[in-house]
């Protein structure tokens, strides 16, 4: 595979926003002017401005059905997915229903290895045996055709809440709330936990209209926004205004200490600062610890951590997640080494449009992370397969900007009926299952579809810069403002700047990170910079002058804060 060319481009700004009179720091004004907003009102976050629940298709119908079950004190079962979005969605529904006077709600999450994804026939049978009156699926269900038919035949009401893309037809359910399943629905960028939150908002409205709160306080559902923030960031949903608002408010509650004990403990174990927690901290420190349970063991531990109501319980459960996450990192490191060694051995390595890898002993809970690593290395849509306990190959894929992975799999399926057993997902991430003897055929079909649909220019990576920062502006105050101006994430990227510096000193940390001390022209004091997980060529290079793209960040060490540049890319001297 040919070396990916990294091109640095200045992110274009909206000239009207640049000319607007504002109290924003000039650098922040430039940053926001280069994001997808039409006015600076879109960075003023208030819950009063959130998306109207009435605009989400079938939400009212689902809330009325749920209200009837709450009124009758029915047996309700929450069925979630085995990732962080599914865990936070499940915990959110349990906490909300308890606030509404329905504390005995049960929950069930599938085992990744034994049950597979969604409401499979095996899972449906277990649910039927528990005899619930109502099942609410969260962050899953839109592709659970066989299992939901079984629940319907058993006379169980089902509310599907999901956000994944739907197939050509919908499953059998009493009500489906999925903004991405209905053309006219708003909220298409919501995570699973966001859809669940809106269901609980609508339920509160129905119960209020029915007089349920005449003699008691109306529950404050803003108390659940810590879960919404974590699940939304973890699932990498596009940060439109509504998602930014929900995450911003959730982060504000976490920073103030108004979050669950389990979240407190996960933040402590990650070494992050709760009063200054950022969306990036959630993405790179909190979400991986929560996801470790679903990848290696039982995501029920993740849900229990989020629900823990005593300090000893929260500590024990969070420590279990920490242990799992360390083990996950060990497995991931070994698999990454194996996969990286496979890349040069691929047929037509230098001209491929895609990467498909398989090794029989890979852990199926970790292949998604592996696919992400291979995608970063190759800058190609990448799918990694593991052999499941049932003998099928279970794959997880990650894509690059401009290539919709789920749509590519849909085309493979249409052009090669029966080749893919099951698939689903989003633009940037998807999962699928194929028969063991169809690996070579799938690899050829996937590559063929990519060549039909994708322009080779997609593989020239562009790194966008928000320009340069004047030496006098490289301050702790600006670093804090940039951090707090988020949340940053998908389609609302964190600010990246570029500049040229003299290198005063460099050293390698733990054989994989490059630490630099940079002299900034016009600034008396040198500034630290660090590039995490640098490749061998960079680690061996002796730099005197350097051109880098970087994030202006804070480094906290022994209670002292200093400015640090997080290096994203080294270009040249």
Question: Residues 131, 72: contact at Cβ < 8 Å?
Answer: no
CA distance 207 to 213: 7
CA distance 281 to 272: 7
Q: Look up residue 466 and give its DSSP letter.
A: -
CA distance 125 to 114: 14
The pLDDT tens digits for 511-537 are 889 999 999 888 888 999 999 988 888
Bridge partners, residue 501, by sequence: 546
User: Which segments of 485-551 does DSSP mark as H helices, in order?
Assistant: 536-540
CA distance 531 to 515: 7
CATH of 346-459, one of 3.10.310.30, 1.10.10.10, 1.10.3660.10, 3.40.50.150: 3.10.310.30
Question: Residues 479, 552: contact at Cβ < 8 Å?
Answer: yes
CA distance 8 to 151: 53
Contacts of 373 (CB under 8 A, 6+ apart): 332, 336, 339
Residue 286: how many other CB atoms lie within 10 Å: 24
Contacts of 550 (CB under 8 A, 6+ apart): 496, 497, 498, 499, 529, 565, 566, 567, 568
Burial status of residue 254 (CB atoms within 10 A of its CB: 0-12, 13-18, 19 or more): buried
Q: Could you tell me the CA-to-CA distances from 341 to 223, 355, 370, 398, 535 in Å, in that order?
A: 48, 13, 13, 19, 14
Q: What share of the chain is helix, strand, coil (3-state, %, to 5)?
A: 45, 20, 35
CA distance 144 to 120: 6
pLDDT of residue 4: 57
Please, what is the Cα angle at 122 between 117 and 128, to 5 degrees? Answer: 115
CA distance 564 to 562: 6
State which H helix or E strand residue 394 sits in: strand 393-398
Half-sphere exposure of 541 (CA within 13 A, CB side): 18
User: Beta 545-557 vs 497-509: how paired, if at all?
Assistant: antiparallel
pLDDT of residue 2: 44
Reported in sequence order, the residue ranges of 459-559 that DSSP labels E, i.e. its strands, are: 461-465, 497-509, 513-519, 527-531, 545-557
pLDDT of residue 145: 93
Stretches in the chain below the pLDDT threshold 70: 1-5, 572-573
pLDDT of residue 573: 52
Residue 23: how many other CB atoms lie within 10 Å: 7
CA distance 96 to 259: 14
Residue 211: how many other CB atoms lie within 10 Å: 8
CA distance 43 to 57: 27
The domain defined by 53-323 folds into inorganic pyrophosphatase (n-terminal core) (3.90.1640)
The pLDDT tens digits for 236-277 are 899 999 999 999 999 999 999 999 999 999 999 999 999 999
Q: Where are the domains of the chain?
A: 6-34+463-572, 53-323, 346-459
Torsions phi, psi for 327 (to 5 deg): -65, -40
The domain defined by 6-34+463-572 folds into OB fold (Dihydrolipoamide Acetyltransferase, E2P) (2.40.50)
């Amino acid at each position: 595979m040919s070396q990916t060319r990294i091109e640095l481009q200045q992110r274009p700004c909206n000239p009207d926003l640049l000319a607007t009179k504002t109290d924003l720091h000039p650098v922040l004004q430039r940053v926001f002017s280069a994001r997808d907003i039409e006015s600076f009102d879109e960075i003023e976050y208030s819950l009063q401005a959130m998306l109207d629940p009435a605009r989400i298709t079938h939400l009212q119908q689902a809330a009325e059905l749920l209200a009837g079950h709450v009124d009758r004190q029915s047996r309700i079962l929450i069925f979630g997915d085995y990732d962080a979005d599914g865990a936070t969605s499940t915990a959110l529904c349990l906490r909300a229903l308890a606030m509404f006077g329905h504390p005995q709600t049960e929950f069930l999450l599938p085992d990744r290895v034994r049950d597979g994804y969604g409401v499979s026939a095996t899972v449906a049978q277990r649910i039927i045996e528990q005899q619930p009156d109502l099942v609410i699926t969260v962050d899953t269900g839109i592709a659970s055709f066989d299992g939901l038919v079984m629940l319907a035949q058993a006379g169980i009401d089902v509310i599907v809440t999901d956000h994944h893309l739907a197939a050509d037809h919908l499953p059998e359910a009493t009500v489906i709330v999925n903004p991405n399943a209905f053309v006219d629905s708003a909220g298409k960028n919501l995570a699973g936990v966001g859809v669940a939150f809106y269901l609980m908002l609508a339920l509160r409205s129905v119960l209020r209209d029915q007089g349920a709160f005449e003699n008691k306080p109306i529950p404050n559902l803003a108390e659940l926004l810590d879960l919404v923030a974590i699940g939304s960031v973890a699932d990498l949903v596009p940060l439109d205004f509504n998602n930014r608002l929900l995450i911003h408010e959730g982060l504000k509650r976490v920073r103030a200490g108004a979050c669950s004990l389990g979240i407190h403990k996960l933040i402590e174990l990650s070494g992050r600062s709760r009063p200054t927690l950022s969306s990036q901290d959630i993405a790179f420190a909190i979400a991986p610890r929560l996801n470790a349970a679903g990848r290696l063991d039982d995501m029920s531990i993740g849900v229990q951590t989020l629900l823990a109501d005593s300090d000893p319980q929260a500590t024990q459960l969070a420590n279990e997640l920490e242990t799992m996450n360390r083990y996950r990192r060990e497995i991931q490191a070994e698999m990454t080494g194996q996969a990286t060694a496979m890349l040069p051995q691929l047929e037509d390595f230098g001209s491929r449009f895609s990467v498909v890898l398989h090794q029989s002993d890979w852990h199926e809970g970790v292949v998604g992370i592996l696919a992400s690593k291979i995608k970063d290395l190759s800058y190609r849509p990448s799918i990694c397969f593991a052999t499941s306990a049932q003998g099928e190959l279970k794959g997880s894929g990650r894509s690059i900007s401009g290539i919709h992975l789920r749509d590519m799999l849909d085309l493979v399926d249409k052009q090669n009926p029966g080749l893919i057993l099951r698939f689903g997902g989003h633009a940037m991430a998807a999962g699928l299952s194929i028969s063991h003897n169809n690996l070579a055929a799938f690899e050829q079909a996937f590559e063929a579809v990519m060549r039909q649909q994708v322009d080779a220019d997609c593989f020239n990576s562009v790194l966008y810069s928000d320009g340069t920062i004047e030496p006098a502006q490289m301050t702790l105050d600006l670093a804090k403002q940039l951090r707090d101006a988020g949340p940053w994430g998908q389609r609302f990227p964190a600010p990246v700047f570029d500049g040229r510096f003299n290198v005063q000193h460099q050293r390698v940390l733990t054989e994989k990170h490059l630490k630099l001390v940079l002299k900034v022209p016009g600034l008396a004091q040198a500034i630290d910079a660090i590039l995490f997980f640098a490749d061998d060529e960079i680690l061996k290079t002796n730099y005197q002058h350097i051109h880098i793209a970087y994030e202006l960040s804070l480094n906290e060490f022994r209670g002292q804060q200093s400015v640090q540049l997080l290096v994203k890319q080294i270009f040249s001297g």
